[in-house]
Structure 1
Amino acid sequence: MYTDKLLLVFMFSALNAQFSQTKYFLETEYIEVPLNHFAPSEEPNVFKLRYLINAEYYDETGPIFIYIGGKGDIFVQAQNSGFMFDIAPIFNALLIFVEHRYYGQSLPFGNDSFSSLKQLKYLSTAQALADFAFVSKYLKTTLSETDDRQPTVVAYGASYGGMLAAWLRMKYPYLVTGTIASSAPMFDFPGLTKCDTFYEKITQVYAEYGGEECVEMIKRGWDVIMASSKTKIGRRVFSELKICSKIETSKDVEKLLNWLQNIHVNMAMANYNYPTNVYTPLPAYPVKVFCDKLTSYYEISNKSFIQHYSRALEFYTNYTGNSLCNNINNENEDLTEIAWNFQTCTELISPRCSTENDMFVTNPWDYEEYAQNCNARFGVKDVRPEGAILAYGGKDLKYYSNIIFSNGEMEPWSSATVSDNVSDSIFSIKIPDATNQLDLRKFDPTDNIYVAETRKFHIHTITQWLENEH
């Protein structure tokens, strides 16, 4: 039934070109889901989960393409998932984007959802997967006239959402026929991936697009900051970074280092081949833009270096040119940060350390300190580093089927993703010169041949999944 539609693959680029600048139309719906899927309740303990719909190309012969929301607002994630919109006409697919509980507008207790552990205890991957399964079952049932002719569901997800999409296929194979998991760090847990690989990959990205000189100058930046922070006169150079508040204490210096490190990580994550607005408006290949500026001529003094460094960063820190200063003292976590920090304190523990082999300040992984911080922040006393491994099997994926794990070779998560084919139905695709979840983003004329071939493979495999269902 879908075989003939594969001919449309050869028209893929032309088809996608018209969507390259599109803001996608989405209708908003809410569905009541159980607060706790795994225990009986005396009351109808439910809350409203948000999901978005695009039915522009859907007919009764088509499948349901369901995007599994990760951390953050589902509307933003949908607008950055253009591949699904691009291929919907090929398959007459219904597009559904389901928000993760405790993110965006899907707050079980409204404004009180983060007030204590009593409310937060329902935030887990198991409960979220049950939400997605609940929505999938509801859609399959309501869109079919008979139980034996229900529409096929294909799941998509990126980063944390990619992990969830893969786990959804693994846990609920009777509901989800196949999954495309892009940039999914499935093995980013203690004992599965070394703690230093993330920052080493970031360093590799800067070396690849900016050269070793850029990496060495970033390293020098940390040395200059640490040396300058030791005296009151030395700390005056920090004014060149246009920080809103004075850098006076060791805690202030730590905040400054973390702020700069996060910028470098974000630039690597958003190092796309075209301008984007994922973290802030950025040009194409922002790592290269930054490194070209940083490695241009500068004078040797600490003050001159910091001033030069600040100017190189301005395209990120002050893209509009209207910002008077950079605020590194924002103590108010947004709700997304609170939810994610809770998850990384309970079951999604990802060890991070930096060493002399990367471009960041050396910082070891200390589990005991991590656990103490989680206890102080959320009252979590049983931080379990093995939780996700016990729940989902770690690297042992040979018993599952119909999952594509795709990742860019120049993305920070690539060291923790599925790097080799597991079987004849669980595939690993490595995309050269590509960063985070590029294959699930919209078509762009500057996409390289490897991205195009990956998307063709997705289309071909989805076609096979659907044909095998009928």
Structure 2
Amino acid sequence: MEIPFRIFLVFTLCGGASAVLFGHRAHNPGVEEQSKSYEYNTSYYNVLVDHFGFANSDTYAMRYLTSVTHWDHNGGPIFFYTGNEGDIAWFCNNTGFMWDIAPEFQAMLVFAEHRYYGESLPYGTDSYKDKQHLDFFTAEQALADFADLIRYIKSTVPGASNSAVIAFGGSYGGMLAAWLRMKYPSSVIGSLAASAPIWQFTGLTGCETQVQIVTKDFRKASPACAKNIRRSWDVMTKFGKTASGRQTLFTNLRLCDPLKTSSDVEGIKSWLSEVYDNLAMVDYPYAASFLEPLPAYPIKVVCSYINKTEPSDDQLLLDLANGLNVYFNYTGSAKCFNASQAATGDLSDEGWGYQSCTEMVMPYCSDGVQDMFPVVKWDEAKEAAQCQKTWQVTPRPQWINLQFGGKDIQAASNIIFSNGQLDPWSAGGVLESLSDTLIAIIIPEGAHHLDLRAKNYDDPPSVTKARETEKTIMRQWIKSYYIDNKTNFMNNKNVKL
């Protein structure tokens, strides 16, 4: 039986004219913004909450965005973005590469929202109520959503029945794009998996690799900066032992909330570590507003405030605050730093927190010697206990490896794995081609899925070359598909494949 569906069309502009700051939208003339606005329709398709059982027949409205502005209605290809851990409109805004190449490929664009994120909540406001309502919050269920949506679009949109579909995704979305091709090869003819750490799991990649890349990025910007950040952890520990010291930390670091206990100080350390990770992720060659409104090469700018030689303890804390000001207050609007948030509110910490307590178990550690971070040991039992306390679930560290093959994925085909060497998540990426059709593309000057962002005057040559290579490969996939299926689209004189 066909699943009931309902569709609402909303004409929307998806552009880069604003940035998220402490939960408010703030225009910032100092941040270079995309000159384009993206026009799309918003639709909702009812999909099963549980694709793999037969007792639960509940459905929910899955949101997806579409653009047919450049699409050839005579079977032109469909570029399908596999949504990740946040609002799909935000990913639409930050995936300019798809919009840039849609005209030359005459492609339809589809951005599909991941279940339990944005507006795609299986049980509405009760979706996060308890573990019973959350039990359908898995990558496997999300992939089935995507495959079902592709089937629906191809069966209901005139001219799409014979369209070639290519999946696109970045970060977790890139993982999903790769897994969609592996699990549903009849749904997509190939996938571009950008900055997809499909090997950042137990037993596949060392837990220390990410922080070592972050440290390398900071050392490249300023050796003194990395050295001072490493020293700052001991300074914070020392100040955190007394009430007066915690008051100094609160004041010098310009925090919004006072530090009442030494545990609060440990929380500040974790928060700062995440900020440094994020800076490495978004170390783009131009001003951007991906996680926060930031200048070009933000690590270099942040480090320009933290590069003194042997500063006093108090001065070091003041310098850190000046560096944080670049990350959290580039617009000049923030009066203090909110340590409860390290990135844009368009990403869901709550949702990813649950996923990391079930399937997405990605070990993380640092030793303070080979890196600039405080000593953090990976403790699987401790993590499991915390997951039980927070969500009443126990993680399955080996499940993703079993489900998607770990490093034994040579049976798959037609996947591009692109990674930037500045990106800490490249540690868990596929960095060498595994076959003629499982192709690795390395971008030496690239941060987190830089190749998926819109083209920019300040793009380094390596990302421009990567995009051209990606387009060439995708043309080959599309051409082979249409020749094999003998579709009329190949006879269109305007098609250049």
Q: Deviations over 1:419-446 (max 9, x none)?
A: 1111111100110111000001100011
> Which among 368, 375, 387 is matched to residue 362 of structure 1?
375
Whether the 8 Å CA contact 2:224–2:306 is kept in 1: the answer is no
> Which among 60, 64, 75 is matched to residue 89 of structure 2?
75
- Alignment pair present for 1:379 and 2:396: no
The residue that corresponds to 1:15 in the other structure is: none
Structure 2 counterpart of 1:375, which letter? Q
The residue that corresponds to 1:459 in the other structure is: 471
The residue that corresponds to 2:7 in the other structure is: none
Q: Deviations over 1:91-115 (max 9, x none)?
A: 1100000000000000000000000
TM-score by length of 2: 0.86
How big is the shift at 1:20?
Answer: 4.7
Whether the 8 Å CA contact 2:88–2:112 is kept in 1: the answer is yes
Identity percentage over the alignment? 40
> Which among 166, 175, 181 is matched to residue 178 of structure 2?
166
- 2:35 counterpart SS class: coil
- 2:440 counterpart SS class: strand
- For 1:438 and 1:330, the matched residues in 2 are separated by 23
Bigger Cα displacement from structure 2, 308-317 vs 346-355: 308-317
The residue that corresponds to 1:151 in the other structure is: 163
Structure 1: which 5+ residue stretches go unaligned?
1-18
- Alignment pair present for 1:229 and 2:243: no
How big is the shift at 1:329?
Answer: 5.2
- 1:235 counterpart SS class: helix
- Alignment pair present for 1:27 and 2:46: no
Whether the 8 Å CA contact 1:144–1:151 is kept in 2: the answer is no
The residue that corresponds to 1:36 in the other structure is: 50
How big is the shift at 1:242?
Answer: 1.2
What aligned pairs does 1:173-252 form with structure 2 within 5 A after superposition? 173-208=185-220, 210-238=221-249, 239-252=251-264
- Alignment pair present for 1:302 and 2:316: no
Q: Deviations over 1:288-312 (max 9, x none)?
A: 0011221147x83322221122122
- 1:118 counterpart SS class: coil
Q: Deviations over 1:57-113 (max 9, x none)?
A: 011241010000010000000110000111101111000000000000000000000
Whether the 8 Å CA contact 1:159–1:185 is kept in 2: the answer is yes
Structure 2 counterpart of 1:104, which letter? G
Q: Deviations over 1:332-362 (max 9, x none)?
A: x998222211111111100011112111100
Alignment root-mean-square deviation, CA: 1.9
Structure 2 counterpart of 1:120, which letter? L
How big is the shift at 1:129?
Answer: 0.3
Structure 2 counterpart of 1:76, which letter? W
Residues 124, 378 of structure 1: alpha-carbon distance in 2 compared, 3 angstrom cutoff: same
Whether the 8 Å CA contact 1:125–1:164 is kept in 2: the answer is yes
- For 1:419 and 1:185, the matched residues in 2 are separated by 10
- For 2:182 and 2:318, the matched residues in 1 are separated by 52
Structure 2 counterpart of 1:47, which letter? Y
The residue that corresponds to 1:265 in the other structure is: 277
- Matched pairs, number: 445
Q: Deviations over 1:209-264 (max 9, x none)?
A: x1221110111111211122223333342111111232231111112112211211
> Which among 328, 331, 336 is matched to residue 325 of structure 1?
336
Structure 2 counterpart of 1:269, which letter? M
- For 1:452 and 1:184, the matched residues in 2 are separated by 19
- For 1:174 and 1:256, the matched residues in 2 are separated by 47
Structure 2 counterpart of 1:371, which letter? A
- Alignment pair present for 1:48 and 2:61: yes
The residue that corresponds to 2:409 in the other structure is: 397
Whether the 8 Å CA contact 2:75–2:159 is kept in 1: the answer is no
Structure 2 counterpart of 1:38, which letter? F
- For 2:448 and 2:346, the matched residues in 1 are separated by 23
- For 2:290 and 2:237, the matched residues in 1 are separated by 31
- 2:357 counterpart SS class: helix
Structure 2 counterpart of 1:139, which letter? I
- 1:141 counterpart SS class: helix
Bigger Cα displacement from structure 2, 211-220 vs 124-133: 211-220
Whether the 8 Å CA contact 2:75–2:162 is kept in 1: the answer is no
The residue that corresponds to 1:89 in the other structure is: 103
Structure 2 counterpart of 1:46, which letter? T
- For 2:188 and 2:207, the matched residues in 1 are separated by 33
Structure 2 counterpart of 1:91, which letter? F
TM-score by length of 1: 0.91
Whether the 8 Å CA contact 1:398–1:423 is kept in 2: the answer is yes
